[in-house]
Amino acid sequence: MEEAFVIDNDVKAEWALRKIRERAAERDRIVETSTEIIESYKAVIKTEVDRAADELAVLEGMLQRYFEAVEHSATKTQETYRLPTGKLKMKLAFQRMVPNNEALMTAFPAFVVQKPDLQWGELKKRFDIIDGKAVDTETGEIVDGVSVETVPPKFIVEV
């Protein structure tokens, strides 16, 4: 049976650091190469989107001129011309209210909704952990609604 490799001296620790450095460099190379490829595809996508937008704008402009030249049905909010495979629509202009929330909240405080929000950062200063339970230091009572969890240690290697 083959024994597992164990780091038990400085030479083996240095070897492990070298391996970490090499693997991190390989990862960075692959990520950089992939990022460059992604950027080149993003440029292709942008070129295609822009070119298509230009071509579509020309066709849509021609259809709009045609729409204006033919008889079409109209409602209060839009005008429509039906074709076998689609519709040409002109939505009519209208006025819409756009709120300025800050000004309206000041002018109409009765319409402002106050949401309760716990100030945990301040409240937890009042608690302490005793025997694995959260205790209110002012009353000495165990606090319902607060659980205590143990965060495991984390080993960090810096290269």
Residue 98: band (very low, low, confident or very high) from pLDDT cuts 50, 70, 90? confident
Q: 1 and 65 share a domain?
A: yes
Measured CA to CA, the distance from residue 135 to residue 145 in angstroms comes to: 11
Residues 81 and 72 sit within 8 Å (Cβ to Cβ): yes
Residues 49 and 102 in one domain: no
Tell me what pLDDT residue 155 has.
67
pLDDT, tens only, 40-75: 999 999 999 999 999 999 999 999 999 999 999 999
Number of residues that this document lists for the chain: 159
| Predicted local confidence at residue 10, as pLDDT | 97
Say if residues 127 and 144 touch (Cβ distance below 8 Å): no
Beta-bridge partners for 130: 133
Residue 48 lies in a domain: yes
Decide if 102 is inside a domain.
Answer: yes
User: Do 66 and 17 belong to one domain?
Assistant: yes
pLDDT at 18: 97
**Is this structure's pTM higher than 0.85?**
no
Amino acid code (one letter) for 55: E
132 in any annotated domain: yes
The range of the structural domain enclosing residue 113 comes to 97-148
In a domain, 88, yes or no: no
